[in-house]
Amino acid sequence: MGSIQQQIKPHSRQQLSILGSTGSIGVSTLDVVARHPDRYQVYALTAHTQVQKLALQCEQFRPEVAVVGTAQAAVELQILLREKKITTQVTYGPEALCQVASASACDTVMAAIVGAAGLASSLAAAQAGKKVLLANKEALVMSGQLFINAIVENGATLLPIDSEHNAIFQCLPRDYQRQPDRHGVRKIVLTASGGPFLQRDVESLTKVTPEEAVAHPNWVMGRKISVDSATMMNKGLEVIEAHWLFATPAEQIEVVIHPQSVIHSMVSYADGSVLAQLGNPDMRTPIAYGLAYPERIDSGVAPLDLTKIARLNFEAPDFKRFPCLALAFDALKMGRSAPTILNASNEVAVQAFLDRKIGFRMIDQIIARTLDRVPVTEIQDLATILEQDRAAREVAEAIITS
């Protein structure tokens, strides 16, 4: 979309930069790519420190460039590739990430680096006019209008890969162009599984362990995102992302608990119609849709057998059980840099929980206290965002250690 979806003309083979190739989204992307060697070629793969895994990916896909997080990781990767006689160029660091995201040899960027660390490279892809497959929700949560402006002003194409936003995208008219009123959109309905603690006694959540929190009942995800699902901050971030992707205010975004994860999200229209996208819970479906848009290709996902689905349940979220979701709605309504502060403090709190420094129910308390303490400012540029991110992390760290 030179707005959110311009027509994409098929040509020989799309050249892909996959940012975060060793994570769950990156691995699923490469699985889809491997099924269509006539359509896709990997230009660049990036990982932070998972050198062994990245070397195996380089051996299979032979990218021109591989990017890692540190100089030490780069040396280790170079040794492994040299042993395999692979000529992939190895670089490292944040600037190298931005270079492969904006390189003239690259057509499409899968932005799958988790958290704030993925912002600069995702923004670089947008500014370079790429087809951006956005799996990093935090980038849009933090940068909001700045990111959307970069897409529009540079003629880039933005396709959401989160299963929920991809579902909404599929349920909207092809010429939607972020104009809900023109198309009679009444409400965006985001579905949520409810995570592993939907039925657990609320009072017992103080005793939740990291192992319990990362054991999602339906989806295979990284540790940070799994904890976010358990607190429903993941859904909160998706609410903010939906606001920017589809130009809908907080009042027109609803979250519904749907434990089966079969309906991935819905759009409610003024005439009473509700359109939903259904499918098995497998990220290869939205990835394949994004890669081939506006066509559809085989993703490797088994077709949904409706006869085997006994029931589809829905319920409203309990904000006492999921205070992080309420905090995200509050941050969206506050606007300006509040979502950046929300995201930064959440990342710090989740890591502290995974490191066993705090309890599970301390996560939302740290976020709320950080939002109270860090002054909200206007978002003017990337530097402003990074400064707010830094300030929020500093305050959150101080709260944890106090």
The DSSP line for 361-396 is THHHHHHHHHHHHSPP----SHHHHHHHHHHHHHHH
Read off the tokens for 384: 């402003």
- Helix then strand then coil, in percent of the chain rounded to 5, is 50, 15, 35
Amino acid at 231: T
What would the pLDDT profile of 43-54 be if each residue is shown by its tens digit? 999 999 999 999
Read off the tokens for 321: 């059980």
Amino acid at 186: R
Peptide bond into 294 cis (omega under 30): yes
The whole-number pLDDT of residue 277 equals 98
**Residue 111 and residue 174: Cα distance in Å, rounded?**
23
Residue 56, class by beta-carbon neighbours within 10 Å (0-12 exposed, 13-18 middle, 19+ buried)? middle
**Residue 400 and residue 387: Cα distance in Å, rounded?**
20
**Residue 234 and residue 192: Cα distance in Å, rounded?**
9
Q: How long, in residues, is the chain?
A: 402
Amino acid at 77: L
What would the pLDDT profile of 23-48 be if each residue is shown by its tens digit? 999 999 999 999 999 999 999 999 99
The whole-number pLDDT of residue 196 equals 86
Which positions ≥6 away from 96 have C-beta within 8 Å?
Answer: 67
**Residue 396 and residue 344: Cα distance in Å, rounded?**
8
All residue ranges of the chain with pLDDT < 50 are: 1-10
Q: Which helix (H) or strand (E) holds 26?
A: helix 24-34
* Phi, psi angles (nearest 5°) of residue 113: -80, 130
Q: Is 354:225 a contact under the CB 8 Å cutoff?
A: no
**Residue 88 and residue 104: Cα distance in Å, rounded?**
17
**Residue 380 and residue 150: Cα distance in Å, rounded?**
13
The whole-number pLDDT of residue 353 equals 96
Task: Give the end-to-end CA distance of the chain in Å, rounded to a whole number.
Answer: 47
**Residue 384 and residue 59: Cα distance in Å, rounded?**
40
**Residue 243 and residue 252: Cα distance in Å, rounded?**
9
Q: Is 126:111 a contact under the CB 8 Å cutoff?
A: no
Amino acid at 24: S
The whole-number pLDDT of residue 139 equals 87
**Residue 95 and residue 254: Cα distance in Å, rounded?**
38
The whole-number pLDDT of residue 395 equals 98
Q: Is 372:396 a contact under the CB 8 Å cutoff?
A: no
**Residue 143 and residue 339: Cα distance in Å, rounded?**
9
The whole-number pLDDT of residue 2 equals 43
The whole-number pLDDT of residue 219 equals 58
SS3 label, residue 336: coil
Map out the domains of the chain with their CATH numbers: 14-161 (3.40.50.720), 170-282+304-395 (1.10.1740.10)
**Residue 45 and residue 68: Cα distance in Å, rounded?**
9
Residues paired with 66 in a beta bridge: 45, 90
Residues paired with 141 in a beta bridge: none
Kindly provide the b/e burial profile for residues 1-36, where b requires at least 16 CB atoms within 10 angstroms of the residue's own CB: bbbbbeebeeeeebbbbbbbbbbbbbbbbbbbbeeb
Residues paired with 257 in a beta bridge: 192, 315
